[in-house]
Amino acid sequence: GAVVSQHPSRVICKSGTSVKIECRSLDFQATTMFWYRQFPKQSLMLMATSNEGSKATYEQGVEKDKFLINHASLTLSTLTVTSAHPEDSSFYICSARGSIESPLHFGNGTRLTVT
Amino acid sequence: AQSVAQPEDQVNVAEGNPLTVKCTYSVSGNPYLFWYVQYPNRGLQFLLKYITGDNLVKGSYGFEAEFNKSQTSFHLKKPSALVSDSALYFCAVRGFSGGYNKLIFGAGTRLAVHP
């Protein structure tokens, strides 16, 4: 089955630093990738949608300068949390799909802790 | 507006008994419906989807879901629950906004199967 690899699985950083999270589709070309944020015991909140080679589309209320998304190739998207603060601590999950009819395939998530 | 409702925060079932996790949706046009499962500190795994065809959809790990258009429901079912089925289950509907198709998730239902 389709595999999406997300790295790192856990990261602890100091307030004010930036953190990059990678999301790779390993065995298919992902025309569209999605980034979600999940708070404890809550559902997934869509942050942004990215298509290869174009700018990401951010959901309302998500700061694009805070959460930089790059979808440089059909197999790689990155999310950079810039100048992280403790309130950015969360579980971030990426997902990818090949075609519009395909189900989403999810990475295993990244637990970000900002101290 | 497109939305998904999972009315139960938690479902408790004895091992070997049938289980049902409820989901209702609101979407204009024909719905594309999905069920995903999430284990602790992991991403989501695809279980099954309904796009068209038979109202009873069979998916992974013995799960199935029944699409009911008149009741706008897509309940997840399994004839005999296993302790290993204990996890967080998300129902989702495909919506369209901002120029993209995207998944809209319900709040999630925690399934606890006890021996």
Report pLDDT for A27: 87
> pLDDT grade, residue B97 (50/70/90)?
low
* Cβ within 8 Å of residue B62, ≥6 positions away: B78, B79, B80
Is the peptide bond between A8 and the residue preceding it cis, with omega within 30 degrees of 0? yes
By Cβ distance, the residue of A46, A91, A107 closest to B102 is A46
Determine the pLDDT at residue B65. 98
Instruction: Tell which A residues from 63 to 82 touch B, by Cβ distance under 8 Å.
Output: none
The torsion region of residue A72 among left (phi > 0), alpha (psi -120 to 50) and beta comes to alpha
Amino acid code (one letter) for A57:
T
Query: Using a CB-CB distance cutoff of 8 angstroms, which residues of chain A are in contact with residue B51?
Result: 101
Q: Residue B98 has what pLDDT?
A: 59
Place of tokens 């409702």: B5
Contact B46 A43 (CB under 8 A): no
Q: The tokens of A92 are what?
A: 């971030």
CB contact under 8 A, B44 and A44: yes
* Contacts with B106 from chain A: Cβ below 8 Å: 43
pLDDT for position B61? 93
Are the C-beta atoms of residues A11 and A112 closer than 8 Å to each other?
yes
Mutate to test the interface with B, among A43, A52, A93, A100 (most CBs of B within 10 A): A43
> Residue B10: what pLDDT?
96
Kindly report, residue by residue over A21-37, the tens digit of the pLDDT. Answer: 999 999 888 888 999 99
Query: Which of B30, B103, B104, B109 to mutate to test binding with chain A, by most A CBs within 10 Å of its CB?
Result: B103
Q: For all residues of chain B together, what is the average pLDDT?
A: 91
Find the CB nearest B99 among A4, A57, A107: A57
Q: In chain B, pLDDT over 70 holds for what percent of residues?
A: 97
Kindly report, residue by residue over A48-88, the tens digit of the pLDDT: 998 887 889 999 999 999 999 998 888 999 999 999 999 99
**Inter-chain contact B108–A43, Cβ cutoff 8 Å?**
yes
Residue B100 has pLDDT above 70, yes or no: no
Q: What is the pLDDT of residues B27-81, one digit of tens each?
A: 888 889 999 999 987 888 999 999 888 999 999 999 999 999 999 999 999 999 9
Q: Please write the tens of the pLDDT for every residue from A93-108.
A: 999 988 777 778 899 9
Two tokens at A106? 């999810």
- pLDDT confidence of residue A112: 96
Binary contact (B107, A43; C-beta < 8 A): yes
